[in-house]
Structure 1
């Protein structure tokens, strides 16, 4: 994710900020232009007016969820919508009569907004369930009567257990399941990978190409998961998969690889925004050397450049974490087989595999 600046005073601000700490202007994120706007209330209209650099007196309103402190995204004041693009896909939100749920929902929404930031940068299709029966929708559910909510995906419906927004609970589950990494944002990126498999692979004419890389998805999914949990990870899984869970079934391999692709490109953009260049003095072969001054989201950027930059950046970040006594930030190894899978995802999201974007637009046209 890139850095932003306050248009009113040029102070560096961040994606989730709602106030500039220097000039005290209200701030909001405008997704169509991928910019942060500085705002002043317009008492005549009841909306907000953009001010500062690049502003032309446009009128704006916040997402209706702004009142709960969970969304700083903006809509044009004349829009009939009351919810931002990021909030519009919510189907079930937590019970807000429980005060603790508001804090958990804030974490949920910030993770989802960061997910949507990347999807918009990649120009990926977004279809609601009003537009198509298998469109995307999110429900955030709490455990009820001793029944634990399972995070997962079902024909476009993404369920995220609200408990996953509790850091202590999530860490406990990470240890119990022997996972090296488990984050709320990771859940969002993984589960939406299943939806994009349906959209871009199954419906996008890319099944044969995908099966050639990830394996035959027609293998019994339920049985594959049972075998995975009963017998444990496949032997030598590190040579073929980005995580042990990816080896359970081709669908999980795709979703895990999809999530890691988003991890990688978003973090590289952060490095580029900070002007990072990594040149270790002892790296005489150049393996850990990189300059992150490139547009990682551009379709002209190759997967080779992305992976080369990531190997150097993740190595440096892991070293920083170790110096602070933390676990590795990225505790994974990208084998040649995994790099090839990341390359497939890269080509898929940029429209070089199948005809997914055209299929989606046709679906939306027919639904309308």
Structure 2
């Protein structure tokens, strides 16, 4: 994530800001140019002019619900912005607690879409193509005990996010129950969209053989693999080859977890670069924990460059968190095997992975839709 500046007064502003705290100008995000612009109202109702590019826009329809600050070109058909057009279902917003949780979900979703746009990844909605990316944000129904609990998961472009994950207490309870070191809304989004991009970048682009060589054969029975994982846990030496214990459960989950961490890394490094961050521990005589974050991590670069900046930064972040009595910001270890998997994601995202030979179409009877976590209601939601 980058930093932004108000054109009207020069004040530093942040991605979620809707009004400049210094000059009071309304703010709107322009995804096509990656700018959070101060705007001024035009005579026509609902039209604003950007001080950044002088063009006329409308705010996304969800701005009226205090859930979005993105702008839509005046001439564009449709009332939703490039982030909100992917929403298929939102919770009952007449329930006050649902509105509050939905706002939290939208903040995380907008950050996700920011990253996908900066990475220039394909971003069609299900209105553009069957199997396009769309979201269901669903609340549990305690008044209907026979209704299964909402499970976070992915199914052929449809990502379901359980509204309960926007409750800090409930999410922390689930994190503790599952023994996870990290569980956030943004992490859920980045993980689940990893499944979507496995479809788009691996399956649909004929990278299956290359991906299997790195992550394993995804044709292994998914339901049985998850059942074994929750019954037996990860293998004892899992840290050597996987970024998280959940990644050991199945190659699909390994890919999604690795994709999630890749986006964690590039987005955090962009913010570190925006702040001009340097890490140079006074006791590090070897220089192994020294870095100056100067690259734009969203642009093509080697995974070695990213990790060389990322490792010292996480040591500093974790050390600062511990001084405040907080958990480590990034409680993970990137082993050589994990870095290799991150490198595959990096090459895939930037179009550098070699295409596998074209593969014959699989007979319909052998191509059952991939099972997903939401089809297994007795299993915990993925991290």
TM-score by length of 2: 0.90
Provide the secondary structure at the position in 1 that maps to 2:85. Answer: coil
Does residue 339 of structure 2 align to residue 343 of structure 1?
A: no
Deviations 1:192-241 (A, max 9, x none): 00000011000111111100000111111110000000111112100010
**Aligned equivalent of 1:80:** 77
Match of 2:118 in 1: 121
Superposed counterparts of 1:1-368, under 5 Å: 1-44=1-44, 46-51=46-51, 54-56=52-54, 58-144=55-141, 145-146=144-145, 147-299=148-300, 301-354=301-354
Aligned-residue offset at 1:55: 3.4
Deviation at 1:281, TM superposition (A): 1.4
1:46 CA displacement: 3.8
8 Å Cα contact 2:234/2:248 also seen in 1: yes
Partner of 1:359: none
Quote the offset at 1:45 in angstroms: 5.2
Structure 1 CA distance, aligned partners of 2:354 and 2:136? 30
Secondary structure in 2 matching 1:129: coil
| Contact 1:151–1:161 (CA under 8 A) maintained in structure 2 | yes
Q: CA deviation at 1:353?
A: 1.6
TM-superposed CA distance for 1:355, in Å, is 5.8
Counterpart residue number, 1:362: none
Q: Is contact 1:201–1:354 with CA below 8 Å preserved after alignment?
A: no
* Coordinate RMSD, CA, aligned: 1.1
Q: Identify unmatched segments of 5+ residues in structure 2.
A: 357-383
Aligned to 2:39, the other structure's residue is in SS state: strand
TM-score norm. by structure 1 comes to 0.94
Cα offset, 1:134, TM superposition = 1.2
Q: Are the counterparts in 2 of residues 233 and 247 from structure 1 also a CA contact under 8 Å?
A: yes
Q: Is the Cα–Cα contact under 8 Å of residues 156 and 195 in structure 1 kept in the other structure?
A: yes
Structure 1 residues 116 and 355: alpha-carbon distance in aligned structure 2, compared to 1, 3 A threshold:
farther
Question: Does structure 2 conserve the Cα–Cα contact (< 8 Å) formed by 1:204 and 1:354?
Answer: no
What do residues 239-266 of structure 1 show as CA deviations (whole Å, max 9, x unaligned)? Answer: 0100000000000000000000000110
1:66/1:302 CA distance change after superposition, 3 Å: same
Distance 1:295 1:33, change over 3 A: same
> What is the deviation of 1:354?
5.0
For residues 148 and 289 of structure 1, what CA distance do their matches in structure 2 show? 47
Contact kept? 2:247, 2:254, Cα under 8 Å: yes
Residue 33 (structure 1) shift: 0.2
- Secondary structure at the residue paired with 1:88? helix
